[in-house]
Structures are given as C-alpha cells and as structure tokens.
Amino acid sequence: MSKKRILMAMSGGIDSTVSALLLLEQGYELVGGTFRTFDSIKESCLAKERGCCSIDSIMEAKHMAEQLGFEHHILDFREAFKEHVIQDFIQEYMSGRTPNPCVLCNSSIKWGMLLDKAMELGCDGIATGHYARIVEQGGHFFLATAADTRKDQTYFLWRLSENELARTLFPLGNLTKPEVRRIAAEHGFEKLSKKMESQEICFIPDNDYRRFLSENVPDFSEKVRPGDFVDAEGRKVGEHAGFPFYTIGQRKGLRVAFGTPKYVTRISARDNTVTLGDRDDLLATSLHAENCMFTDVSLLEQNPNVQARIRYNSPAVEARVRVEGSHAEVDFSVPVWGVTPGQSLVLYQDGLVVGGGLICG
C-alpha cells in the first residue's frame, strides 16, 4: 500500500501506539479510531471498567493520538457488536459449543465496520497492532505468520478476505514483542512499555463467562438446569450444574470424585448431559470443519498437506485436508488433544494462512 491516509485502530495499548509511531515515521497520514463495543457499567453498578474497549482505554487511546499529533474518532459499534458477536457467543454456549468471539469480532467489526468508517473519513485503508503479516503471491493476498511466533495472531484473523487484507497494514508483523517494548521506551513511553497485557474476553472483564451467561440469557434458570454426568457408555456417574458451564477438556471444577482425573469429553445440549472420560479419550486423529474460507482452494487441491491449528495456544500439526465446498475433512499425522466444537481450525502452508473453518461436533 502506498503512503496514504490510514485509519489507525487505537486501543490505548502498546501495540497500536508503536504501530502509529512506525507509520508516522514512514510518512503515512494517520487518523485514529477507537471503537466502543460494549457497555459493562450498569445503572446499579459504578465499578471501574476494564478491558480493551472500556471507557478508560478509549480515553487513553484518544490522549495518545493527541500526543502523536493526529485526529481521533470514537466509534460506537455497540449495537452491531451485541448483535453479531455477543449474541453468537451466547448462542454457541447454549448449543453446547465453545466459541471464539475474537475471530468473529475481527471479521465483522474490526474489519467489516472499520473499513467502512475508513472510507467515510477519506482513508485509503486501515492499520492495526496485530502480530501478523500480509504477503501477495500468485495474484492473491495471504495472511502470513508474524516474525514473533509466540505473539502471532493469525489464528484470530483467518476470516479476513483478500479485499480486506489488500487494504490493511500490520506494522508489527516483522517485530518481536521485546522490540516493540524497546521502541515504545525509546520514544518516551516508558510506562506503556512495561504495561501488562489483558488476556480476558473484552466484554467479560472478570473472565467469568458462566456469570455472563446467567445474566444475559433470558429465563436462564429455566433453560439451564442440573443434568447428568455420564461415562462413554452413557451410564450416570454424577450430576452437573448445567451443560453451558463446561468446556471440552475441562478437568477442574467438576465436583465429582473419581480415583483418577476425569475430563469433559462431550457436551450435549439436546439431552443436557456432559460426558466424562480419561485424558486419552480426548485424542483425535481427524476432524470435520464447516463454514470454511480458502484463499486459493486450488493450492489445497494440488497439495493437501497443511499445518493445522485447532486452538490459539496449540502448535500447528502436520495434516492432510480434503475440501468439499465450504466443508473440510482434516486427518492429522499424529493425534491431537482436545478438538473442541465451536473453535476455529486454521490451515497453513509454509507460514501462509490458506484457509480456516469452524470445528464441528
């Protein structure tokens, strides 16, 4: 992308701030934009908000843009965020699956709506502080893994289209996190360079999704009732508090005593049962994914060998993929642990994201 006017997504944190610093040094004209996606302050509670989209972080971002000398806009995306991201989060858990809201937010809010706002503000594209790269190859724009593999965020970005990638800049793609901290300190942002990062879901700052569901699902107590823990043969081995309170692979908090550790291996919303088993019961050699997107499906038809990731904090595993429309069947070279319906499958070839989809039960 030539040096033009860019809408810089500002969070008030170190990554977007350093991204802005780098782009300014490269001669880009910046416009700052910070989106408000949720409102965690209720009329009965005046507690301080936390998280990347809170009032505090929004004001920090605005102040940072002013310090760096470019205009800043607060973008109210709360209605769309609730409709697309929060409702999907609730619906998935209430269906017995475990969603990843960041994936959906990136595609529908952070890019979908932010690019529209960029056009409205006369910008030619957007920039974010994500750790990822964009590679143009064979007439296609590919998402590519970041130089800092420990911070790489391509897993959360697989749903971005080529058109969106063509209008995006990732200034941190070739940097490591220590380098980003050093750049911040060198530019006088010493306190920011040492700031700890937030890991929780932005709209659940206390990280208690169970509380969030109970407060946001109408008639929750009627819809979610205690049910049976069962073993692989369907025999009752205990009682659970309600199927949405559990995730695949969960071991702690089961409140059922066994001679050996037990793990959640299956969740059934239909009959309100949660299956428990041994750790090895969670090993799988294949999976099915739906709602898939592929950058260039011919690459996978010519060469079905991929590196596949089934969650953000798991390494990619060698696999073979068979594509059928928007569906994919993946066979792993070695068993993988904890395949979880609702999570994302992301496929790579030589560091390029060639596709992704949602894991089915």
Residues carrying an active site annotation: 105, 202
Closest CA to 142 of 321, 349, 344: 349
Sheet holding 29-36, edge to edge: 72-76, 29-36, 5-9, 125-127, 168-169
HSE at residue 188, side-chain half, CA atoms within 13 A, is 4
142 in Cβ contact with 354 (< 8 Å): yes
Q: Show contacts of 248-254: CB within 8 Å, 24+ apart.
A: 248/98, 248/282, 248/338, 248/339, 248/340, 248/341, 249/282, 249/337, 249/338, 249/340, 254/229
Cα 270–Cα 274–Cα 275 angle in degrees, nearest 5: 120
Q: Give CA–CA dist 244/118, Å, rounded.
A: 38
Burial of 345 (0-12, 13-18, 19+ CB in 10 A): buried
Instruction: Using alpha carbons, select from 163, 171, 180, 59 the residue that is nearest to residue 118.
Output: 163
DSSP readout, 134-155?
Answer: EEEETTEEEEE--S-TTT--GG
CA 274 to chain centre: 26
Single-letter amino acid code for the residue at 305: N
User: Which of 289, 78, 315 lies closest to 202 in space, CA to CA?
Assistant: 78
Nearest to 112 by CA among 121, 102, 104: 104
In one-letter notation, the amino acid at residue 149 is T
Tokens 């709209």 sit on residue: 203
